Amino acid sequence: MGKDVIIACDFDSKAELIKFLDKFEDESLYLKVGMELFYAEGPAIIKEIKSRGHKIFLDLKLHDIPTTVMKAMKVLSELDVDMCNVHAAGTIAMMEAAIKGLTKADGTRPLLIAVTQLTSTSQERMTEDLLIDRKIDEVVSHYAMNAKKAGLDGIVCSPLEAGKVHAECGSEFLTITPGVRFADGEVGDQVRVMTPAQAREIGSDYIVVGRPITQAPDPVAAYKRCVSEFVG
Ligand code: C5P
Give tens-digit pLDDT for 115-146: 999 888 899 999 999 999 999 999 999 999 99
Counting ligand 1 atoms within 8 A of each CB, the residue from 10, 38, 60, 186 with the most, and so the one to mutate, is 10
pTM of the model: 0.96
Known active-site residue 74: no
Q: What's the CA gap between 31 and 171, in Å, rounded?
A: 24
Ligand 1 center to 105 CA (angstroms): 33
- How far apart, in whole angstroms, are the C-alpha atoms of residue 113 and residue 86? 7
pLDDT of the residue at 159: 87
Ligand 1 midpoint to CA 220 (Å):
20
Q: Closest ligand 1 atom to the C-alpha of 115? A: 18
Alpha carbons 22 and 72: distance in angstroms, whole number: 31
30: confidence class by pLDDT, cuts 50, 70, 90: very high
Task: Please identify, by atom number, the ligand 1 atom nearest to the C-alpha of residue 214.
Answer: 1
Per-residue confidence at 17, pLDDT binned at 50, 70, 90?
very high
pLDDT in tens, 153-162: 999 998 888 9
Q: How far is CA 15 from CA 22, 148, 162, in A?
A: 11, 38, 35
Look over the chain and give the mean of its residue pLDDT values, rounded to a whole number: 95
pLDDT band at 177 (very low <50, low <70, confident <90, very high): very high
Task: Give the active site residue among 14, 50, 61, 74.
Answer: 61
